[in-house]
Copies of this chain bind each other. A is one copy, B any other.
Amino acid sequence: MTSNAAGAGTISYEQAGVNYDLIDPLKVAAQRAAAATAGHLAGHGFTEVKASRGESAYVVDVGPFYLASIVECLGSKALVADEMGKLTGRSYYAGIAQDTIAMAVNDLITVGATPLVVQAYWAAGGSDWFGDAQRAQALVEGWKKACDTCGVAWGGGETPALAGIVEGGRIDLAASCTGIIQPKERLSVGDRLGAGDAIVLLASSGIHANGLSLARKLVERLPQGYMTPLADGSLYGEALLAPTVLYSPVTEALERAGVRPHYCANVTGHGWRKLLRHPAQLTYRIDALPRVPEVLRFIQQHAQQDDREAYSTLNMGAGFALFVDAADGQKCVDVARGLGIEAVVAGRVEAGPKQLLIEPLGIRFGDDDLQLR
């Protein structure tokens, strides 16, 4: 099915402007070259955790504990903040800062790491970006607040002015994060994942920072654009800008509560297909769904996506997935709720072919639906 921007019809993620066919060959070449560098660690007396290749963070065994590191990009969410800033006169960069840190921290914790240090990468289109004191201050304050929430030290960073590379008036935001996995038994790269595990889904606050190309494309169809009211009265643009939930307080609290996830999946690009991230041949059966945030329901409706398309692109209310011992499922929910994050024991892992069955919606995603490695 095809559509033009302003007309009717489904908007798929590819139609929203991201062409993975062009990026993927580079990714594969880069992944192969990267894997070939692992041997260098032996020269320093260390080894990589090979299972972390293809996971959300890279893990090295440095002896007394594991070291995990990552760099993550915010993506295009700042463009929505810029548009909404023009429309309302407010700055949304405190939330954008949280989103950027969430991209890095929520990935880092999937391997069982405690995030320790965050570095800021704020590349502006020119020095003048930093001249808007209100916006710059919001970015600084939001960044600090997110570090406070995650208990990480903000180590420093880069604030280059990149005229000619970053567009004028724009900023390219990213964060790197380093953490450790201690004790080493916290490592969760999937070797403990197995049939019988409970699948716990932690609630998202909205679109988080994935699917924004689609969300922005949709604006062209809305006569009131970002100022379109949703069913709950909030504005589309503001709802899109709800900051991404930071999940490291949950994973740290779980460790204190004696719960060690067998595996974790940060639900970002590719939506619920991310639940199929681990290469093991296992079936993931979902029988309870989290509440879908109003803004995602709105996007699904106006982009005329069926459930399969929506759940394959957007988080649909599930920001982070924990795969835990069946006996720990409810405890995870209790710990998350204690931190103000809604959660649900959504299903279980079973022996069987690699597939995700979202039973309430009659959706099946198979191995072919997610190729990350």
**Which A residues fall within an 8 A CB radius of B?**
17-23, 25-27, 29-31, 33-34, 36-38, 40-41, 43-44, 46, 48, 53, 58, 60, 62-65, 67, 69-73, 75-76, 78-79, 114, 116-117, 119-121, 123, 126-128, 130-131, 133, 136-137, 139-141, 143-144, 147-148, 150-167, 170-172, 174-176, 178, 180
Of A27, A147, A165, A170, the most chain B CB neighbours within 10 A belong to A165
B172 and A117 within 8 A (CB): no
B170 and A164 within 8 A (CB): yes
Minimum CB–CB distance for A373 against chain B, Å: 11
A37 and B164 within 8 A (CB): no
Tell whether A165 pairs with B79 under 8 Å between CB atoms, given A30-B143, A70-B119, A119-B69: yes
Q: Which of B43, B159, B175 contacts A30 (CB 8 A)?
A: B159
A282 to B167, CA, bound (A): 42
Minimum-distance CB pairs A-B, first 4: A58-B155, A176-B176, A19-B127, A34-B154
A165 and B172 within 8 A (CB): yes
A72 to B60, CA, bound (A): 21
B contact residues around A23 at 8 Å (CB): 127, 130, 159, 161
B contact residues around A175 at 8 Å (CB): 71
B contact residues around A21 at 8 Å (CB): 127
A-B contact pairs, 12 of them (CB 8 A): A17-B161, A21-B127, A33-B143, A34-B155, A37-B152, A41-B153, A44-B114, A63-B64, A69-B176, A71-B157, A71-B158, A71-B175
Minimum CB–CB distance for A146 against chain B, Å: 10
Tell whether A26 pairs with B71 under 8 Å between CB atoms, given A60-B153, A127-B18, A153-B38: no
A136 to B123, CA, bound (A): 22
Question: Mostly helix, strand, loop or mixed at chain A's interface?
Answer: mixed
B contact residues around A166 at 8 Å (CB): 165-167, 172
B contact residues around A178 at 8 Å (CB): 67, 69, 178
Minimum CB–CB distance for A77 against chain B, Å: 10
Of A27, A53, A71, A175, the most chain B CB neighbours within 10 A belong to A71
Tell whether A133 pairs with B25 under 8 Å between CB atoms, given A40-B151, A67-B117, A165-B170: yes
Tell whether A36 pairs with B151 under 8 Å between CB atoms, given A18-B127, A158-B72, A165-B166: no
A117 and B58 within 8 A (CB): yes
A176 to B114, CA, bound (A): 18
A116 and B67 within 8 A (CB): yes
B155 and A69 within 8 A (CB): yes
B136 and A29 within 8 A (CB): yes
A37 to B21, CA, bound (A): 41
B contact residues around A150 at 8 Å (CB): 40
Tell whether A33 pairs with B119 under 8 Å between CB atoms, given A76-B162, A127-B19, A167-B164: no
Minimum CB–CB distance for A287 against chain B, Å: 34
Q: Which residue of chain B has the shortest Cβ distance to A27 in the bound complex?
A: B159
B contact residues around A60 at 8 Å (CB): 116-117, 153, 155
Minimum CB–CB distance for A274 against chain B, Å: 16
Tell whether A36 pairs with B121 under 8 Å between CB atoms, given A130-B23, A165-B76: no
B67 and A34 within 8 A (CB): no
Q: Which residue of chain B has the shortest Cβ distance to A180 in the bound complex?
A: B62
B contact residues around A148 at 8 Å (CB): 37, 40
B contact residues around A73 at 8 Å (CB): 121, 123, 158, 160, 162
A164 and B79 within 8 A (CB): yes
